[in-house]
Structure 1
Amino acid sequence: MAGQQSTPPPAELAEAVAAVLPGARTDLETLVRIPSIWADPAHAEDTRRSAEAVAGLARDAGAAEVRTIAAEGGAPAVVAHWPAPEGMPTVMLYAHHDVQPTGGDDQWSSPPFEPTERDGRLYGRGAADDKAGVMTHLAVLRAYGGTPPVGVVLFVEGEEESGSPTLTALLEQHRDRLAADVIVIADAANPAVDVPALTTSLRGLVDVVVDVSMLERPAHSGVYGGPVGDALTALCRTLATLHDDKGDVAVPGLVRGSSDAPDPDEATYRSDAGLLDGVEFLGTGSIPDRVNHAPAVAVLGLDAPRVAEAANVLIPRARAMVSMRLAPGQDALEARQALTEHLERNVPWGAHVSVTPGSGVAEPFSLSSTGEVYDHARAAFSSAYGTAAVETGIGGSIPFIAEFARSFPGAAVLVTGVGDPASRWHGIDESLHLEMFGKGVLAEALLLHRLAGRA
């Protein structure tokens, strides 16, 4: 293809996308069958197989060069190139091929690594997050017959679900190969299957481990209970101070923002979250404000005796991991320090306490949605979905987006995806809405078409 004149018109492009979707689904199912859980050392070889499969698909889609790369100690990533026609920009298409653990295979309605269709959705771990993103990019390249109208760098990471620990090293070592004018990240979700979104803000994330001690050793609860307390009760009272009576986070000094995004349908939102009947929402403000623009605290785990192993003794020591999501505009390290100081101040009865940082820090991030590239993106996505594209925040954290913005400061960064609220990313019965997947492929194909016209 020799530039803009050879780019198919939108109607012809829509036909080309429709033609490649059956094969894209077949290949997506093949990828889902590979349990590429890089966070679990037992699946390291599976993750390598997954990378090899993606590399093979990139070659089949006409890539001029395909490399499997890895930083020291890191997971395998795939980088493939489709050279830019003269005068055309280069677009990086990002996704990741690693997946979350299943959370318990026996809890799934069908085996997590055996893709299964039910009611227009494809179920399986990675079907949405993010092997659908991988196949969105590859389907677009197939729709263009392997010769897209712009230059393309396909970058498929292998350790996003582990926090991308070696991404910085990869970007430094392969900066020239990854350089692009526009970066399209397919690792986000839409507010509904028929409403496309451009994600413009993400919350950050910090966590700490709080360790409470009250006794040198276990003590008989009948002989000493009353004047002598136990560490687990002290820990529970400490954790209870993290929220006020309305459920808002009570840690002082944290940033909280707002938006004019409308509330979702409450019944649908409750159902998507799996909230039990009669359980109240936490906090104040609109649901989009609470999810995307406010801090949130959760206790992710406790070290204490199991109920089945409990004895009539006072517990000398108990620990908990506390996770906190951060609103855009918050400094992550300052927030972690505020959380630490709050926990230290609120331990009762003179109990001994230590608070240590967890393993991860993700800065919150916001993107400017002004400029020609975003105008083209809004037009492309609105056309493909038949509904105006919206700008939205995400309550989750995607640390690598800030890393891309720092590494390629001149590039416009677009965050898209083919998940929806029912996709249950990271959860039991993760799934992909297949009709929305097709719309997502068409939207990205139209975006490349419009970017070629822009040049």
Structure 2
Amino acid sequence: MSEALEPAITQHISEVFDTTIDELCELVRIPSVSWPAFDPTHVQASANKVAELMRSTGVFDFVDVRRAPIEGQEHEADPELGHPAVIARRAPKNGAPTVLLYAHHDVQPPGKDEEWETPPFEPTERDGRLYARGAADDKAGVMAHVTAIRALAATEGPDFDLGIAVFIEGEEEWASQSFGNFLRDNRDELEADAIIVADSGNWDVDTPGLTVALRGAVAFNVKIETMAHATHSGMFGGAIPDAMLAAVKLLATLWDEDGAVAVEGLKSADLATPEYDEARLREESGLLDGVSAIGRGEILSRIWAQPAITVTGIDAPDIANASNTLIPSVTVRISARVAPGQDPQEYYDALTGHLAANAPYGAKLTFEDPGLGQSFSVDTSGPAVAHMRAAMEQGFNRAPVDMGAGGSIPFIAELVEEFPGAEILVTGVEDPDGRAHSPNESLHLGSYRKALAAEAIFLARMNRGL
């Protein structure tokens, strides 16, 4: 890359940064929650806005808003369609490669308003951060793509050679249920040599991160039953095992005394991890004083390369309705993480088999609504990875860290299946204090400016074939 290009891109980003943030705020104000209980017209409005932003770049052969059948319904006469996604393409010229830019424009539910310091869909800047639902996850990713494309056109000229495809999904936060069908229905328009999945984060606000390993996911409900109906706790308590007692004893078998998973058949990965001490864990997670960390081994190995099991919900009478009765049934939501390299079906079978074998007092178990997501490990040997590392170092003025991720992006496995020859680059704009999915989600604006420059420099390097 010529010495003049990097400063030109950085200068352009600086000149348009305020406009970028204004446009991000417009997008964030649309409450595009894709969960079934929320108004889908907001997701449609968000898709329309994203399409408008993509058209404003002036580089694409077409920009459309499209939908696809939900997975498993592609052969039905009247299939249910997924939420609207934005697709765009610009054909490559002169033998240049094509880069597919992925992000998602839907967001998590905001949660309780009283837990937010400012309204969740009214973006508010304070102390160098922009607070709002979707400010980081993932509407900032959408605007990163828009801004990088504009920067490429401004510095390389609008007739640049690089091919660009765009897929901005509308249901990532609702399990990407039409993702596979969307890929198949639009394969020719989305085919690319490299794919940027802008839905991860950086090592810290000053240091970029390239995510090279992602845990998979297993989630399901387990219904625990011990009685045909509720009975008076005074009359039968002490003789009858109620469902809550069975649930508590059963769930306790999932972990050992250290809090590490205690289920046979759940595997760990051999993954090198950077230095990360317990003090940083406490700072970034909000772990209370006096509460110890759990698990064994290096902390980042526990988060990136080992299995985890979490109980995320219990259906049982709440305290306001807690009469003196023995509860006949309890339903528990299990959310588990799968180490890179293990098949989630194997994990699910091991976990449900453990629960069935350890059901106390002969309690009856029913497993419901399983959801499986593949783990992912990146091949870092390709030229696009080298370009991204160089671009990140130029944009942040600091070498990137190869990171794992404790969370999951299961659809990446579908990208690999559909486009086996493409290099997958998992990037993002989040930082350890961004609190994605939580109240007071935020975007660090100084770090975001650097991330915008890094993506634009990457596109310029791919365009020039350096």
TM range (shorter): over 0.9
Q: CA RMSD in A?
A: 1.7
Q: Residue 180 of structure 2 aligns to which amino acid in structure 1?
A: T
Measured after TM superposition, the shift of residue 41 of structure 1 is: 4.4
Measured after TM superposition, the shift of residue 307 of structure 1 is: 1.4
User: Do the aligned residues in 1 keep the contact of 2:215 with 2:376 (CA within 8 Å)?
Assistant: yes
Establish whether residue 419 from structure 1 lines up as the match of residue 430 from structure 2: yes
Establish whether residue 89 from structure 1 lines up as the match of residue 97 from structure 2: yes
Question: Equivalences for 1:243-282 in 2 at 5 Å?
Answer: 243-282=255-294
User: Do the aligned residues in 2 keep the contact of 1:259 with 1:288 (CA within 8 Å)?
Assistant: no
Residues in 1 aligned to 2:242 and 2:5: alpha-carbon distance in whole angstroms: 71
Establish whether residue 77 from structure 1 lines up as the match of residue 73 from structure 2: no
Residues in 2 aligned to 1:96 and 1:357: alpha-carbon distance in whole angstroms: 24
Range moving further from structure 2, 147-156 or 73-82 = 147-156
Number of the residue aligned with 1:160: 172
Question: Of 308, 311, 319, which residue of structure 2 is paired with 1:299?
Answer: 311
Deviations 1:288-332, CA, capped at 9 Å, x for gaps: 101110111011111111112112221111121111110001110
Measured after TM superposition, the shift of residue 268 of structure 1 is: 3.5
Question: Of 46, 51, 65, which residue of structure 2 is paired with 1:50?
Answer: 46
Deviations 1:430-450, CA, capped at 9 Å, x for gaps: 000001111111101111121
SS in 2 for 1:176: helix
Number of the residue aligned with 1:20: 16
Residues in 1 aligned to 2:246 and 2:200: alpha-carbon distance in whole angstroms: 39
User: Do the aligned residues in 1 keep the contact of 2:94 with 2:161 (CA within 8 Å)?
Assistant: no
Establish whether residue 11 from structure 1 lines up as the match of residue 7 from structure 2: yes
User: Do the aligned residues in 1 keep the contact of 2:277 with 2:299 (CA within 8 Å)?
Assistant: no
Measured after TM superposition, the shift of residue 357 of structure 1 is: 4.3
Question: Of 19, 30, 33, which residue of structure 2 is paired with 1:34?
Answer: 30
User: Do the aligned residues in 2 keep the contact of 1:58 with 1:66 (CA within 8 Å)?
Assistant: yes
How many residue pairs get matched? 450
Residues in 1 aligned to 2:272 and 2:183: alpha-carbon distance in whole angstroms: 36
Residues in 2 aligned to 1:9 and 1:304: alpha-carbon distance in whole angstroms: 61
Residues in 2 aligned to 1:275 and 1:149: alpha-carbon distance in whole angstroms: 50
User: Do the aligned residues in 2 keep the contact of 1:98 with 1:160 (CA within 8 Å)?
Assistant: yes
Establish whether residue 390 from structure 1 lines up as the match of residue 386 from structure 2: no
For structure 1, the residue ranges without an aligned partner over 5 or more in a row are none
Q: Residue 251 of structure 2 aligns to which amino acid in structure 1?
A: L
Residues in 2 aligned to 1:26 and 1:329: alpha-carbon distance in whole angstroms: 42
Question: Equivalences for 1:92-131 in 2 at 5 Å?
Answer: 92-131=100-139
Question: Of 205, 212, 221, which residue of structure 2 is paired with 1:200?
Answer: 212
Residues in 2 aligned to 1:42 and 1:342: alpha-carbon distance in whole angstroms: 36
Establish whether residue 446 from structure 1 lines up as the match of residue 454 from structure 2: no
| Dislocated runs of 4+, deviation >4 Å | none
Number of the residue aligned with 1:139: 147
Q: Residue 70 of structure 1 aligns to which amino acid in structure 2?
A: R
Among all aligned residue pairs of Structure 1 and Structure 2, give the percentage whose two residues are the same amino acid. 45
SS in 1 for 2:458: helix
Q: Residue 89 of structure 1 aligns to which amino acid in structure 2?
A: P
TM-score under structure 1 normalisation? 0.95
Number of the residue aligned with 1:64: 61
SS in 2 for 1:199: strand
Residues in 2 aligned to 1:61 and 1:41: alpha-carbon distance in whole angstroms: 34
Measured after TM superposition, the shift of residue 454 of structure 1 is: 2.1
Question: Of 331, 350, 353, which residue of structure 1 is paired with 2:362?
Answer: 350
User: Do the aligned residues in 1 keep the contact of 2:152 with 2:459 (CA within 8 Å)?
Assistant: no
User: Do the aligned residues in 1 keep the contact of 2:103 with 2:142 (CA within 8 Å)?
Assistant: yes
TM-score under structure 2 normalisation? 0.93
Number of the residue aligned with 2:249: 237
